[in-house]
Structure 1
Amino acid sequence: MKKGLLLVGTASIIAAGGFVGTTVHAASTKQVTAVGSTALQPLAAQVAEEFSNRNSGVTVNVQGGGSGAGLSQVGKGNVTIGNSDIFAEQKDGINAKKLKDHKVAVVGITPVVNADVKVANLSMDQLRDIFTGKITNWQEVGGQDQKISVINRAQGSGTRFTFEQEVLDGKTAKTSQEQDDNGAVQKIVSTTPGAISYLAFSYTSGSQAKNLKPVSIDKVHPTEKNVQKNKWSIWAYEHMYTTKKTDKNTTKYIKFMKSNAMKSTVKKLGYIPMSDMQVKKNADGDVTKK
């Protein structure tokens, strides 16, 4: 740690915006504030800590709140970075032409169930029917006689947008319990018998995920290699949006996030480096080879 730099990793609530996140504190008023995607939050926070270790006097504040909030806040000039799992063009009310897109990684998204559910694979049709309310008992898809408890993400979530785009095929999800972030979903699915939801890959490992399990779709496993080839189609870019002109510390932080030095950190936390992708996706959801 550099002399004169104090790092404090804390779970903090910013009263004005209601965002929950990790703040890296430093000794001066130089500050970068990133708000939005909770799928990107673990990576953004880890890189923030490493960046601050190398840049004495700079504060990097990483908060959640969802992709919609991130895009809205950066668009209004309230924060320096809006973290998002979706393209700005995909969010109503956002003037994408005023923002600059920095794609920093790729995140896979997978359906997950409570560990007691005796189902390891679903067809895409079965998964769609569960989330639209046509299938309500695990017995209907080869599991035990147990009610299915559907946990969804709240409106404005980029993870939800991606899941619905790839799975629901334009159909409306059934009314169910909704949670604001990946961490809350992880906890509830882990502790609720019969529960199903979906999470970024980065939330499917570690001690807090020990009571949940990812589900394959049409016998395709949710792995990084399958995402890289689009064999697993439920994935999204992790975007860091800024205004067209931004300050030097924000620019340096994003550049550091995308650097080769952070590639191992990206992989360790369950994300896929941009350079590892064999395909690319546009705002319309079209996928082509790189």
Structure 2
Amino acid sequence: MFDFSGFGSINIETVIAAVTLFGTSIVWLLDRYLLRRKRLVYRVQVDAQIGVHPKQNRAREMVDVEVVHQGTVVQDPSIVLLRLDNAGGTDIDARDMQDKVSFVFPDRKIVRMKVVESQPDSLGKMLESRMNPADYVDTEKLVVPRIAINRGDHFKFLLVLSGKGRDVAHSGYLAGGSTGGGVYHEPRPRGPGRRTLMFGATTLVLVGALVAFFLVDVLQPPDNCESGQLRVIGSTAVEPTMTELRSAYVTDCTQADITIAANGSRSGVRSLSDLGAQDGTAASKVIAMSDGPAEDAPTLRGEPMAVVVFAVVINRSAAVTSLTTAQLRAIYNGQITNWKDVGGKDLPIRMVSRVGPDSGSRRVFREKVLGGDQELGITSDDCRKDDDAAAAKYHRCEVGTTEELLTRVNEIGGAMGYAELGGARKFPDITIATVDDVVPDSSKVAAGAYKFWEVEHVYTYKVPETGSLTATFLEYVRSPQARPILERSGLVPCSDLPTGFCG
């Protein structure tokens, strides 16, 4: 025992514990607030086998679920719930992931992968847009795409795997921060007592609910499957939606070879029409998507599919969330060139537009927002700096696809543009602006309050032959199975709207 004046007798173990606690706190504070390391922390919240065969009703064994995927029983199934957090003192930029962060499940193969939680929601939507679940089937590695993860953000992956392994290993490297950064494993907290037992029981209940939701999603195949080849061209605004529909269809219809090759609404319709004149058989294996009805396509068969809600998108740095139609027209005719003139920051407005007349979204923006006026000329090739900065009175560039437009607006300070609503929601540094105080939303479209929208049409060469992949895939696009994908992308099926709304 030691005698400290004024403190009485203090046990040496108490002194050591206090010093250790104080030192740990100092190290944590230095790391988080002074050194500001970039830290991506992962936790394996659940890694458990999914029981025994349900027919074996033996005593003291858990009731089990037989996991079936694409008609085949998954051997030695297990489930992993993996959480990733930005636990550092600063944001993680996509460029910080010099080596992509990945997770390996030795002696196991991925059967199914899903993003089940994220904070904010836009982070999860971005992950979903960049991670095709079909790319991870029958592999032992999960690769996280290069994305921005702000301080305090987190997301979770739920995976069903086959095999007898149990470990989860990671690789990858984070650059940046004042002293660098890294990827760290944080073990699940352990401890005795009722609280731990209650936490474990609650976790099992929640995971059980997630598994049920997850497997129901797995076991929802299309009503009909056909083999063959099909190419989907046209609108880039709905390209991400068509890509997701394609992935969902071919996951169960494995003999279907469907390619998405968006090239602009008018260009797609024109290509299909020209192909039909040359080779009707080849044209019967092509679908063209168009933002709005096509012009001068007498040999094609078209039908409305859904309403596409478009939005005005602004980089968050501008600090502007609302614009009027009059302000938009003033911006796009060069009268307003700085965000401070519409209540935002003192920052030049950089307009990012779609290239040329083949873009359906550009046509819709011109007709329904600009009142038919043409956009200004191009001042920049890369959207970041003007070719003749001294002469430029406004700033405008053009890009080839909706995805490229959204990427530029997301990355460039002061940038703005127009795009399909569902795609815009996936970018964390984009603000979706209200127009004339109306929020872009399908309900506002149906009520007639929001004007920036168009009917998405699907075109084929003549009537698709019954039993062909073209006919069957279109049936799937209109089916209840496809509806969640359409709704998640911000598209409203014409069947959900008043009669005559889609024309």
Matched residues in 2 for 1:268 and 1:111: separation?
Answer: 19
Q: Is the 8 A contact 1:228 1:276 kept in 2?
A: no
Matching residue of 2:338: 137
Gaps of 5+ in 1: 11-27, 90-94, 283-290
The residue that corresponds to 1:159 in the other structure is 361
Q: 2:413 maps to which residue? A: 193
Segments of 5+ residues of structure 2 without an aligned counterpart are 1-68, 73-132, 137-225, 276-281, 378-395
Tell me by how many angstroms 1:184 deviates: 0.5
Q: Which protein has greater RCO, CA pairs closer than 8 Å, 6+ apart?
A: 1
TM-score (norm 1): 0.82
Distance in 2 (CA, whole Å) between partners of 1:219 and 1:260 is: 33
Quote the offset at 1:86 in angstroms: 2.1
Q: How far apart are the structure 2 equivalents of 1:9 and 1:82?
A: 25
Aligned residues: 256
Q: Tell me which residue corresponds to 1:243.
A: 461
Q: Are residues 1:88 and 2:310 paired?
A: no
Deviation at 1:67, TM superposition (A): 0.8
Deviations 1:190-249 (A, max 9, x none): 11111110110111223xx10011111111111121122231111111221111133421
Pick from 222, 231, 241 the counterpart of residue 43 of structure 1: 241
Quote the residue 2:482 is aligned against.
262
- RMSD of Structure 2 on Structure 1 (CA): 2.2
How far has the Cα of 1:9 moved from its partner?
5.2
Give aligned-pair identity as a percent. Answer: 26
Shift of 1:2: 4.3
The reply to whether residue 213 of structure 1 matches residue 431 of structure 2 is yes
Structure 1 segment 22-171 matched on structure 2, within 5 A: 30-77=228-275, 79=283, 80-89=286-295, 95-155=296-356, 156-171=358-373
Following TM superposition, by how much is the alpha carbon of 1:111 offset from its aligned partner in structure 2, in angstroms? Answer: 0.6
Decide whether the 8 Å contact of 2:312 with 2:432 is kept in 1.
yes
Q: CA deviation at 1:148?
A: 0.7
Shift of the 136–36 alpha-carbon distance from structure 1 to 2, 3 Å rule, reads: same
Question: Which amino acid in 1 is paired with 2:501?
Answer: K
The residue matched to 1:168 in structure 2 has which SS? coil
- Quote the Cα distance in structure 2 between the aligned partners of 1:167 and 1:281: 19
Shift of 1:270: 2.1
1: CA distance, partners of 2:398 / 2:448 = 28
- Give a deviation string over 1:24-72, Cα, whole Å, max 9, x none: xxxx981011111111111211111222234342211111111122111
Partners of 1:203 and 1:51 lie apart in 2 by 20
Query: TM-score scaled by structure 2?
Result: 0.48
Q: Residue 269 of structure 2 contacts residue 297 of structure 2 at CA under 8 Å; is this kept in 1?
A: no
Change (3 A) 1:268 1:170: closer
SS of corresponding position for 2:457: strand
Whole-angstrom CA distance in 2 between matches of 1:259 and 1:135? 46
* CA distance in 2: counterparts of 1:54 and 1:105, whole angstroms: 24
Structure 2 match to 1:275: 495
CA distance in 2, matches of 1:281, 1:224: 13
User: Is the Cα contact below 8 Å between 1:152 and 1:179 reproduced in 2?
Assistant: yes
Paired with 1:227 and 1:194, the residues of 2 have a C-alpha distance of 28
Q: Distance in 2 between matches of 1:141 and 1:48?
A: 42
Task: Give the partner amino acid of 1:237.
Answer: V
Q: Which amino acid aligns with 1:236?
A: E
Identify the residue that residue 452 of structure 2 maps to in structure 1: 234
- The CA deviation at 1:136 is 0.8
Structure 2 letter corresponding to 1:52: V
Q: Give the SS at the match of 2:501.
A: strand
Q: Counterpart in 2 of 1:288?
A: none
User: Does the 8 Å contact 1:2/1:56 carry over to 2?
Assistant: no
